[in-house]
Amino acid sequence: MNLLNYIVWDPDPILAHLGPLTIRYYSTCWLIGLLLGYLLMQRLYKQQKLGDDKFEPLFLYIFFGILVGARLGHCLFYQPEYFLTQWDHFIEMLIPMHHMPDGSWKLTGYEGLASHGGVFGMFVAIWLYCRNMKVKGWVVLDNMGIVSGIAAMFIRLGNLMNSEIIGKVTDVPWAFIFVREDQYPRHPGQLYEAIAYLIIFLLILFIYKKKGPKSVGTGLYFGLCLTLIFAFRFFIEYTKEIQVAFEAGLPMDMGQILSIPLILLGVWSITSSFKRAKALEEKQEK
Binding residues: 156
DSSP letter, residue 213: G
Q: What beta strand segments (E) does the chain contain?
A: 7-9, 14-18, 21-24, 97-99, 105-107, 176-178, 185-186
**Pick from 158, 180, 179: nearest CA to 113:** 158
Cα separations (Å) of 15 from 7, 32, 158?
Answer: 21, 14, 11
φ/ψ (deg, to 5) at 51: 95, 140
Q: What beta strand segments (E) does 117-236 contain?
A: 176-178, 185-186
Burial of 70 by CB count in 10 Å (0-12 exposed, 13-18 middle, 19+ buried)? buried
φ/ψ (deg, to 5) at 183: -110, 20
Cα separations (Å) of 211 from 14, 169, 214?
Answer: 43, 43, 8
Give the SS3 label for residue 161.
helix
DSSP letter, residue 85: T
φ/ψ (deg, to 5) at 35: -65, -45
Q: Tell me which amino acid residue 280 is.
A: L
Spell out the residues 6+ positions from residue 28 whose beta carbon is closer than 8 angstroms to its own. 15, 158
